[in-house]
Amino acid sequence: MLFSKGCTYAIRASLLVTTKEIKDGRKFIPIRELSDELDLSFHFLTKIMQVLTEAKIMESFRGPNGGVGLARPAREITLIDVIAAVDGLDLFSECALGLPGCGEKTPCPLHAAWAKRREDLHRMFEKTTLAGLAKELELNALRH
Amino acid sequence: MLFSKGCTYAIRASLLVTTKEIKDGRKFIPIRELSDELDLSFHFLTKIMQVLTEAKIMESFRGPNGGVGLARPAREITLIDVIAAVDGLDLFSECALGLPGCGEKTPCPLHAAWAKRREDLHRMFEKTTLAGLAKELELNALRH
DNA sequence: GATATATAAGATACAAGAGTCTTAAATCTG
DNA sequence: CAGATTTAAGACTCTTGTATCTTATATATC
């Protein structure tokens, strides 16, 4: 898999928070509500949302009417922010063959081809914002 | 990581077998020799080479002067063959968010962007042969 | 045929990732 | 203030990937 499970859960949950914030105008969404709708473990998602909170991507609030919400406007949060917080950015800097010395000066035979593509992937995830994905989701719903 | 460790070892070992076959004209290379030169566990590499042998990418021969060798000409073995045997091809067909229903008809918001790139990656690994990588390695050595 | 060499196969051990559970702390409501 | 709600934190378990070890089996050489 490209991302760890935790990372895909983080992306899906962030996106759900975004749409709820935009459509319902709510500031904090209970993690229980997110885990129910995404059909995944509440406790596991809690741990992941804590990581996003530490990374200043989310804000959290305890007690009744509490939950998690975006710490910044959805158009200012990119997928790279979420990926970096959960999985780190090794994927976008590592050699495809895991060779530590591989680089421009001493390339492995796959270096040129992979470096080009991993940078393209990095740029794509950097350009993709939660607001953009939410918009995309809405358009898909309309088309069905 | 893009590939499992076993998969990167498989690629590196296959490539080493290729260069030894081309340069020294030997048919079978002992796994011990490969693990020594690649600096990784002999027993682990043995298991991986068994997978490649089962997949008809390698041939093996026991006893003195035995070892493993390419089952076909190096220009007919692609990286996709090796990757498919060790890690499988899920990476090139799966949704980036791990959503089972994701596809052209019911796309997740990342579908279009990721599908394009994962197909490009697939084509690249499909076009890359062991012979091509060995050639690349030789050119790199000349440039240093 | 005896011995040494080398892979084959499978059992076992270790580590990391994924997921669960429990307890604590903060906050709101009545 | 009491009780309900909700996140925080960390211990714990389960599973999977990674790695090692042991015992077969096949082959070549002498």
Q: Determine the residue of chain B that is closest to A38 in CA distance.
A: B99
Are A107 and B140 in contact by the 8 Å Cβ rule? The answer is: yes
Nearest in space to A95 (alpha carbons), one of A103, A83, A105: A103
Look at residue B29 in the predicted model and tell me its pLDDT: 95
Q: List the one residue out of A5, A115, A91 whose CA is nearest residue B94.
A: A5
* Domain positions in chain A: 5-138
Q: Collapsing DSSP states into helix, strand and coil, what is residue B129? A: strand
pLDDT exceeds 80 at position A143:
no
pLDDT above 90 covers what percent of chain B? 85
pLDDT in tens, B90-101: 999 999 998 888
> Is residue A59 within 8 Å of A53, Cβ to Cβ?
yes
Cβ of residue B12 closer than 8 Å to a chain A Cβ: yes
Cα separation, B61 vs B112, whole angstroms = 47
Structure tokens at A126: 């950097």
The SS3 call for residue A37 is helix
**In chain B, which among 99-128 make CB contacts under 8 A with chain A?**
99, 106-107, 109-110, 113, 117, 120-121, 124, 128
* DSSP string across B78-109: BHHHHHHHHT-SGGGTS-TT--TT-SSSS--T
CATH number assigned to the domain covering B5-138: 1.10.10.10
Rounded to the nearest angstrom, the minimum Cα separation between A133 and chain B is 6
Which nt sits closest to A44, CA to C1'? Answer: C19
Band of residue B1 on the pLDDT scale cut at 50, 70, 90:
confident
Q: Mind listing the pLDDT tens digit for each residue in B8-35?
A: 999 999 999 999 999 999 999 999 999 9
Say if B96 is an interface residue toward chain A (CB within 8 Å). yes
Q: Do B91 and A137 touch (CB under 8 A)?
A: no
Q: Taking CB atoms and an 8 Å limit, are A110 and B90 in contact across chains?
A: no
A79/A87 Cα distance (integer angstroms): 12
C-alpha B75, offset from chain centre: 13
Q: Is the pTM of this model over 0.80?
A: yes
Contact positions of strand D to protein Cβ (< 7 A)? 3-11, 17-22, 25-29
Residue B101: per-residue pLDDT: 84
Q: Pick A144 or A54 by higher pLDDT.
A: A54
